[in-house]
C-alpha cells in the first residue's frame, strides 16, 4: 500500500514536471533564458529614455533593425494597431520603444522615420554596440549582425522577436511572441495599466 502511494506521488510529480517542461518548450524559453529585465538608459529620437524615470507607465519594448524587411515591420505594425485602440489619455501612460540593434545602420534619424511610420508614439532608440548588447542581455534578447554573404551587397541581422510589456515598476510583465495579434497586445497592456502601483 505504501509503495503504491509513493509510486502515485512520484508519477504525479513526473506529470507536473513534464507539463511544465512542455509549457516552457511551447513558449520557446528555457529556464536559463528567462530574462529579468532591468533599468537602462538609451538615446532616442525624443531625447534620453531612462527606464528608471518611467515608473507608473507601461512600456512596450522591442528589439530589431531598420533594414528589417519583414519581421520587424510585422510586429511594429501590429503594435501600431494595438496603440490605435487606446484613447489619447491612455496613450499618455504608454511608451513604446524600438531599439535598433544594428547600430551602424540604425541611426536616430533613420529610426525616427521608421518607428513613426507604424505609429507616431513609437520612439526609436540607439546607442553604442556595447551598450546595445548590455541592454539586450538584460532582456534575454539575442542578435547576430551577419557579414554580407558572398556576392551580396547587404547584410541581415538574426534577432529574437518577442515583444516585452513592462509593468509600472519597469519589470517584465509579459513576453509576447512574434505573430500575436493586436488584440492580445492591447489587452495585455490594458491589464497592466489597470494595476495599482
Partner 1 sequence: MKNLIVILLAVMSVSALANGVMVHDAYIRLLPPTAKTTGAFLELMNHSDKDVKLLKAESDFSEKVELHTHIEKDGMMKMVEVKEIVIPAGKTVAMKPGSFHIMLIGLKNPLKENQETTIKLTFDDKTTQSVKLSVKKIMNDMKKGSKDHQH
Nearer to partner 1, 55 or 84 (CB): 84
Sign (positive/negative) of CA torsion 34, 40, 44, 47?
A: positive
- Partnered with residue 48 across adjacent β-strands are 43
Question: Judged by CB under 8 A, does residue 179 bind partner 1?
Answer: yes
Kindly tell me which residue out of 24, 184, 190, 193 binds partner 1, with binding defined by CB under 8 A: 184
3-class DSSP state of 7: helix
- Burial of 177: CB neighbours in 10 Å, binned 0-12, 13-18, 19+: middle
What one-character-per-residue DSSP string does 18-87 give? HHHHHHHHHTT--GGG-------EEEEBTEEEEGGGGTTSEEEEEEE-TT-SSHHHHHHHHHHHHHHTS-
Residue 160 binding partner 1, by CB under 8 A: yes
33/195 with CB nearer partner 1:
33
The one among 138, 145, 182, 190 contacting partner 1 by CB under 8 A: 182
Q: Is 91 in the site for partner 1 (CB under 8 A)?
A: no
Q: Which stretch binds partner 1 (CB under 8 A): 1-9, 43-51, 62-70, 123-131?
A: 62-70
Residue 148 touches partner 1, criterion: CB under 8 A: no
Whole-angstrom CA distances from 197 to 55, 60, 96, 135 are 9, 18, 20, 25
From the CB of 93, what's the least distance to partner 1, in Å? Answer: 24
Q: Which residues of 33-64 are buried (b: 16+ CB within 10 A; e: fewer)?
A: eebebeebebbbbeeebebeebeebbbbbbbb
Part in contact with partner 1 (CB under 8 A); list of ranges 10-18, 65-73, 85-93, 167-175: 65-73
CB of 113 to partner 1, least distance (A): 5
Task: For partner 1, give the closer residue by CB, 5 or 32.
Answer: 32
For residue 187, state whether it binds partner 1 (rule: CB under 8 A).
Answer: no
Q: Which of 90, 133, 180, 190 is close enough to bind partner 1 by CB under 8 A?
A: 180
DSSP H or E stretch at residue 191: helix 182-193
> Residues in the site for partner 1, rule: CB under 8 A?
28, 33, 66-67, 69-71, 73-74, 77-78, 80-81, 110, 113-114, 117, 142-144, 149, 153-154, 156, 158-161, 178-184
Amino acid at each position: 500500500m505504501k509503495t503504491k502511494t509513493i509510486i502515485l506521488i512520484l508519477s504525479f510529480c513526473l506529470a507536473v514536471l513534464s507539463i511544465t517542461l512542455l509549457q516552457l518548450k511551447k513558449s520557446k524559453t528555457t529556464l536559463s533564458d528567462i530574462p529579468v529585465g532591468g533599468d537602462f538608459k538609451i538615446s532616442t529620437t525624443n531625447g534620453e529614455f531612462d527606464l528608471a524615470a518611467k515608473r507608473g507607465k507601461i512600456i512596450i519594448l522591442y528589439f530589431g533593425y531598420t533594414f528589417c524587411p519583414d519581421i520587424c515591420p510585422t510586429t511594429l505594425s501590429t503594435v501600431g494597431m494595438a496603440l490605435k485602440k487606446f484613447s489619447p489619455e491612455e496613450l499618455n501612460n504608454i511608451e513604446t520603444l524600438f531599439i535598433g540593434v544594428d547600430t551602424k545602420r540604425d541611426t536616430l534619424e533613420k529610426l525616427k522615420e521608421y518607428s513613426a511610420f507604424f505609429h507616431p508614439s513609437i520612439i526609436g532608440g540607439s546607442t553604442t554596440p556595447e551598450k546595445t548588447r548590455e541592454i539586450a542581455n538584460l532582456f534575454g534578447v539575442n542578435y547576430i549582425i551577419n557579414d554580407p554573404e558572398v556576392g551580396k551587397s547587404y547584410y541581415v541581422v538574426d534577432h529574437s522577436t518577442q515583444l516585452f510589456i513592462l509593468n509600472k515598476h519597469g519589470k517584465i510583465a509579459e513576453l509576447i511572441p512574434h505573430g500575436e495579434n493586436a488584440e492580445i497586445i492591447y489587452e495585455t497592456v490594458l491589464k497592466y495599466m489597470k494595476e495599482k502601483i
